[in-house]
Amino acid sequence: MNEKLLSKRLQAVASYIPKGSVLADIGSDHAYLPCYAILNGLSKEAVAGEVNEGPFRSAVQQVKKSGLQEEISVRKGNGLEVISPNEVNVITIAGMGGQLIRDILKEDQTKLEGVERLILQPNVAAHLLREWLWKNGWRLIAEVILEEDGKIYEILVSEKGQSDSLYTEDTQANLIFGPYLKSERNEAFQRKWTYEHNKRKHVLNEMKKGSKYENNEKIQDLLKEIKLIEEVLNWQD
């Protein structure tokens, strides 16, 4: 992977960057994504934010190598502290846990002033992000789930605005599975939730060996989760 050829995961993230945008890539690592965005005419300016010294230096070197020092500002700092309110209109955060991405977004929401689109790629716990977006005035406009190198990734694309109607019915399932992903149910989605189903079944069987089936709250919760997964996958008994 480099600034001209992104991974499948980052290529999917980049595909949702609007042309002419001013981008902030938080946790930019080697700054491949902002370099790609500039080189391909998606963004006119970008900020590459990185909290760790090693990746920060790598990003600086990559931007210099690409000859994009005028277009990309590489900044060292934690989360959104590398940008100012109304400085950018698109933020990408990829390759972190959903809880961490959520915490970055809510740490200082004044930094989200002027931001029109969030493109988020959590490695785990995407449901925490969906819930935060829903409760904080961000409208989910697209979702992607894909598999790369044996791992499954989800991408959430959201724009500032009134919460949409996707959550008015079947809220729990939409938050857990994703309203768009649940509707499409592509191969990666089915693979992920088949795995999650089997994992819960295994835990359930282990717990039932040493617990009273009817009275164990954790067992009842697992049964509900298993049933919900089976309903979403449209499995028939």
The CATH number linked to 105 is 3.40.50.150
Query: What is the number of other CB atoms lying within 10 angstroms of the CB of residue 231?
Result: 11
The structural domain count of the chain equals 2
Q: Is residue 140 part of a domain?
A: yes
Percent of the chain predicted with pLDDT > 70 = 93
pLDDT given for residue 163 in this prediction: 61
Tens digit of each residue's pLDDT (9 = 90 or more) over 131-162 = 999 999 999 999 999 999 999 999 999 999 86
Instruction: State the pLDDT at residue 161.
Output: 82
Instruction: Report how far residue 83's alpha carbon sits from residue 112's, in angstroms, rounded to the nearest whole number.
Output: 9
Helix (H) or strand (E) holding 75: strand 72-76
Task: Order the strands of the 117-122 sheet from edge to edge.
Answer: 72-76, 43-50, 21-26, 90-96, 117-122, 151-160, 138-148
Per-residue pLDDT of the chain (237 residues; tens, 9 = 90+): 777 789 999 999 999 999 999 999 999 999 999 999 999 999 999 999 999 999 999 999 999 999 999 999 999 999 999 999 999 999 999 999 999 999 999 998 999 999 999 999 999 999 999 999 999 999 999 999 999 999 999 999 999 986 655 666 678 899 999 999 999 999 999 999 999 999 999 998 888 777 555 557 888 889 999 999 999 998 854
Query: Is the domain of 143 the same as that of 200?
Result: no
The structure's pTM equals 0.93
- What is the per-residue pLDDT across 60-98, written as a single tens digit (0 to 9) for each? 999 999 999 999 999 999 999 999 999 999 999 999 999
Which tokens hold the place of 117? Answer: 């689109």
How far is it, in rounded angstroms, from Cα 26 to Cα 120? 10
Whether 172 is covered by a domain: the verdict is no
Does 182 fall in a domain? Answer: no
Q: Which domain holds residue 77?
A: 8-164
The answer to whether residues 46 and 91 belong to one domain is: yes
Place of tokens 């961490």: 100
What is the reported pLDDT for 215?
A: 58
Q: Is residue 16 part of a domain?
A: yes
